[in-house]
Amino acid sequence: MKILVDTCIWSLALRRKAISNAHEITRLKELILDSNAIMMGPIRQELLSGISIKSQFNKLKEYLQAFPDLTVLTDDYELAAEYYNIYRAKGIQGSNTDFLICSISTNHELPVFTTDKDFILYKKYLPIRLY
């Protein structure tokens, strides 16, 4: 089963020394080996942002090139905006990237692999699946 992997999971495995999150890292490795880890452009951008050492940036960029971006369609962006508006009307803020992830999950029927607790809140009102 294909799984949309959120920035926080990639970051645990690629940018941090995380012993306490060994389960998530092991699961990501399994998804990668089975060719089931899905990447999208905004997640790639988040992962590469903030790396000030050029050699580290280039190394991570090269590694991530093994994962093609899921094609994001106009419907995905429009649904993300709709999701944003639903939550804003309830007084709840979320990032544009989070709502794009939610719309991709819905439109492409992909569970989201994340440790971001905001997605539990999003799941209350949106038809997303969490992995």
Structure tokens at 17: 């020394």
Final residue belonging to a domain, choices 11, 41, 64: 64
Task: Indicate if 48 and 83 belong to the same structural domain.
Answer: no
Rounded Cα distance between 61 and 33, Å, is 19
Task: Indicate if 23 and 51 belong to the same structural domain.
Answer: yes
Q: Note whether residue 50 is domain-resident.
A: yes
Residue range 30-41, pLDDT digits in tens: 999 999 999 999
Please give the tally of structural domains in the chain: 2
What local confidence, expressed as pLDDT, does residue 19 receive? 60
Task: Indicate if 87 and 53 belong to the same structural domain.
Answer: no
What local confidence, expressed as pLDDT, does residue 20 receive? 63
Instruction: Taking the CA atoms of 107, 99, 10 and 112 in sequence, report the sign of the dihedral they define.
Output: negative
Rounded Cα distance between 57 and 128, Å, is 32
Rounded Cα distance between 3 and 25, Å, is 14
What local confidence, expressed as pLDDT, does residue 15 receive? 64
Alpha helices in the chain (DSSP H): 7-14, 22-33, 41-48, 54-64, 74-89, 96-107, 118-125
Task: Indicate if 88 and 55 belong to the same structural domain.
Answer: no
CA–CA distances in Å: residue 44 to residues 67, 117, 119: 9, 20, 19
| Spans in the chain with pLDDT lower than 50 | none
The whole domain housing 57 covers 3-64
What local confidence, expressed as pLDDT, does residue 22 receive? 82
CA–CA distances in Å: residue 12 to residues 47, 73, 92: 10, 28, 26
What local confidence, expressed as pLDDT, does residue 43 receive? 97
Final residue belonging to a domain, choices 64, 84, 104: 64
